[in-house]
Structure 1
Amino acid sequence: MWSIIKNTFLTNRFFYAITACICLFITAFWFPPLIWVAKIALAALAVLTTAEGIMLFHPKMKLKAERLLNPKLSLGDANPVRLVVKSEYPLPVEIEIFDELPFQLQVRDFGVTTKLLQEKPEEILYHVKPTERGIFNFGNVNLIVKTQIGLLQRRVQVPASYDTAVYPSVMQMKKYELMMFSNLSMQNGVRKLRRIGHSYEFDQVKNYVRGDDFRSINWKATSRRNELMVNQYEDERSQPIYLILDKSRVMKMPFEEMTLLDYAINSTLVMSNIILQKGDRVGLISFSNTLDSRIKAEQRSGQLGKIMESLYRQKTEFLEADYDLMYEGVRRLTNGRSLLIFFTNFESMSALKRNLPTLRRLNKLHLLVVVFFQNTELTDYSNLPVTDLEDIYSQTLAQKFLVEKRRMVEELKKYGIQSVLTRPEDLSVNTVNKYMELKARGMI
């Protein structure tokens, strides 16, 4: 009985009706014939309320609900969630659906109203956009049901607690994979570039046969064997490529509710998949004040999953980055020349120059690409209309910082270091394009 009382709610229609009955009783003091009208109205209200209560709480009258969603949600993307609701009431009913969303989403006003017919399931689709990685708990599904009488409401709570993990964006990864190998690439900013020339790696020394290139003659082996020997080469396909994540305080800056680090993590997953699809080996290094993830560049079938799990578990306190430690980590992990794609950020020229010696040392051993971010808020602010002298001063400062970012690109270029200066939302597409450009030019 207590359960029925706890889950029963009076609607506005009931209060309007009872108010009308009270008004009739009051009016009957001056017009006595109205007393019968008031009594009949009150009796009718009681009968209808009782009838609706019986219909709502009849043991055979049930509501069923099921939540359908991916066990792995994509960070920063609109992930679809489906609620399938089914009614066993013989009459059409109106329901309000309140899904208990994870607290990380900070949504407190989610609700959907729909009408249900008997045994006809209704599917409600909505989207959630997580802005941080981790475990998200969806709670129960709460249904508020009423009949066409509309005097009472019944709350039905469907147990549907479910934990799902928010991973780096798998949706973006699949999107860019589709674009790379379809005709959609140019429409979405990904450029397909034709490879210029060839890159070869040594295979073996063999006896000369007619048709071999004279330029590949191995004179030392020829003198030892007293017969003409040539070096045999094969197309160099599988290049080692390392994606380096800076997890220091410079990556804490937010953009559309996500940190720059999370944008870099999403882009790292996209790049890992593209690199493997293109036949190269991919590895991962992450660091801040300590050296964290170190995954050697490989092309095994489980490499992408290994990198994805590592990216999912990335944690940081956003402390100062130790570039020398990162350099030592790269030196120990790599064998031979590799392509290093380094996701970081510099807010001033002095910050870049402080770490430039380490970057130059890396670039001597490897092909280094530094990927850093434009300050989009400053860009937007600098384009606002000017109204007074203070605005002129503030926008001049904003322009100064924007120009300094472009100077950083020139400073890196002066020392032969490749760079990508990008808006956070364009990070993946610009990084993919840079990789494809280097590959087409035969630099990797």
Structure 2
Amino acid sequence: MLGGKGRSLVVLGTFLLTAGFSFKNYYLIICGVFFLFATFISLPAFESSMNIDELHVTREIDNTRVFRDDFMHIKVIIKNTGGNKFDFLDIFDQFPAKAFRLVTGENYISTRIDPHKTIKFSYVLAPRVRGEFEFGPLEVTVRDRLGFNAEKRIVPKSLTDIIIYPPYEQIRALELMGAQRAMAMSFGIHQTKKKGTGTDLRNLRQYVAGDQFRLIDWKASMRLQKLIVREFESERNVSTIILIDSSESMAGGAVDATKFEYSIKSAMLLAKIAMEQKDQVGIATFSDRSNFRWLAPTTKRSHFYDIINFLGEITPQGKKEIYWSIEEFSRSWDKRSLVFLITDLEIAQLDVLAAFRKLKSYGHAVCVISPFSPWFEIHELELTSTDKALAEAISEEMMLHIVNIKKDSQKLGVPVISVAPDDMFEVIMAEYQESKRVGKAE
């Protein structure tokens, strides 16, 4: 194809040719014909001498899964496998600017390469935000010496999926916070054990009709001359399920402090606390029918890191189809559980209440944590509580929508709690602790 200079010559030649015929100026006609002829004659010569297929361009990335406080080192390798020399070669490696910041080096090179030679260049990126992003493609452009002609190609299979996790220090802080809160709960006033068939002896009592014979304590029965049975107690563990709204409305807020980002951090914290309490933890993210994802509960010791890996790949996208998503979750998991639903509730009230009824119909104990949009959108402005109240008043329509949902959800026994960035962690931990204390989802 024609390069920038080539296109300019074509425009100039066409203009001179038109002007020459208009003014009957043979000099202008000759110049116009010369420019056009020179441009189009050079194109076949360029294409016959420059075979771009002889260039083999690859990219090497040290790690496609990184923490947000890490660095990514990218190396691009260009090999000339043919016998032709390329005097003017441009290589450009594209990356999503919203997800990465260039730290050192350049992601392009303009160079020449001799036959059967190899050239490398590299650069370093720093991730900006958490999520999954598409890296690339690689773009190769070959030009002639005068810049009249150029050929551009996209390197096949040069797109790479990159997953950025939250900062490692942040994950460690959430782990520590979760472990400390779980330990505090272990010494609290809530009931941690229940009567059952566990391994810890609770007490002895007289036999009553219906007791299992295997529970009879024969030594005590012989001593007291009446049948005595043993009662045991077992740990009161539940399945904790965290459902996270990943629709596009959850992307509201500052770049690194969106409703979705706080939901992800809250989910990791809650998962850590629940696992420290020996609960099984399942995670689901939902928006529309093509974006429902489910990570089933398990007893694996490494499950917390499976959760981090699972959540690291999710970015807010798609419309909110909450009722369909709850139906899909119910098909995936029907065991009675403690369910935390994290959503901004920016959807029709009828759909929200239908989703709540669906969860309750399976016997789940449900708690809804709702990030309130205005509080997240003004989070970085460091407003006082009075200012936040004013922001709430400004968003009267949205608040009225939430209030109406709260009224109807109370009739279903589903608490809906609006949260801001500065209290979301505390609220979700307190609600989990209260649920364990009163024995929900037993």
- TM-score, scaled relative to structure 2: 0.54
1:112-160 per-residue CA deviation (whole Å, 9 max, x = no partner) reads xxxxxxxxxxxxxxx96722413698xxxxxxxxxxxxxxxxxxxxxxx
Matched, 1:212 2:204: yes
Matched, 1:200 2:194: yes
Q: What displacement does 1:296 show?
A: 2.2
Tell me the residue number matched to 1:116. Answer: none
Secondary structure in 2 matching 1:298: coil
Tell me the residue number matched to 1:330. Answer: 330
- Contact 1:288–1:321 (8 Å) recurs in 2: yes
Matched, 1:253 2:252: yes
Report the residue type matching 2:204 in the other structure: D
Matched, 1:398 2:390: no
Secondary structure in 2 matching 1:443: coil
- State the alpha-carbon separation in 1 of the partners of residues 202 and 419 from structure 2: 52
- State the alpha-carbon separation in 2 of the partners of residues 429 and 342 from structure 1: 16
Tell me the residue number matched to 1:114. Answer: none
Instruction: Give the unaligned 5+ runs of structure 1.
Output: 1-67, 84-99, 112-126, 138-162, 385-392
Secondary structure in 1 matching 2:297: strand
Counterparts of 1:283-432 in structure 2, within 5 Å, are: 283-290=282-289, 292-314=292-314, 317-335=317-335, 337-347=336-346, 351-364=348-361, 365-376=363-374, 397-424=394-421, 426-432=423-429
- State the alpha-carbon separation in 2 of the partners of residues 420 and 283 from structure 1: 21
Secondary structure in 1 matching 2:309: helix
Matched, 1:443 2:433: no
Secondary structure in 1 matching 2:427: helix
Q: What displacement does 1:218 show?
A: 5.2
Secondary structure in 1 matching 2:300: coil
Tell me the residue number matched to 2:140. Answer: none
- How many pairs align? 299
Cα gap change, 1:231 to 1:255, in 2 (>3 Å)? farther
Cα gap change, 1:301 to 1:166, in 2 (>3 Å)? same
Tell me the residue number matched to 2:120. Answer: none
Q: What displacement does 1:433 show?
A: 2.4
- State the alpha-carbon separation in 2 of the partners of residues 210 and 278 from structure 1: 20
Cα gap change, 1:228 to 1:329, in 2 (>3 Å)? farther
- State the alpha-carbon separation in 2 of the partners of residues 358 and 131 from structure 1: 31
Report the residue type matching 1:342 in the other structure: L
Cα gap change, 1:374 to 1:211, in 2 (>3 Å)? closer
- Contact 1:104–1:136 (8 Å) recurs in 2: no
Report the residue type matching 2:406 in the other structure: V
Cα gap change, 1:110 to 1:330, in 2 (>3 Å)? same
Tell me the residue number matched to 2:151. Answer: none
Report the residue type matching 2:266 in the other structure: S
Tell me the residue number matched to 2:175. Answer: 177
- TM-score, scaled relative to structure 1: 0.53
Secondary structure in 2 matching 1:358: helix
- Contact 1:244–1:341 (8 Å) recurs in 2: yes
Cα gap change, 1:182 to 1:267, in 2 (>3 Å)? closer
- Contact 1:237–1:279 (8 Å) recurs in 2: no
Cα gap change, 1:402 to 1:288, in 2 (>3 Å)? closer
- State the alpha-carbon separation in 2 of the partners of residues 280 and 220 from structure 1: 31
- State the alpha-carbon separation in 2 of the partners of residues 394 and 224 from structure 1: 64
Q: How well do the aligned residues superpose, as a CA RMSD in angstroms? A: 4.7
Matched, 1:434 2:431: yes
Q: What displacement does 1:434 show?
A: 1.6
Q: What displacement does 1:341 show?
A: 0.9
- Contact 1:192–1:436 (8 Å) recurs in 2: no
- State the alpha-carbon separation in 1 of the partners of residues 163 and 214 from structure 2: 63
Secondary structure in 1 matching 2:204: coil
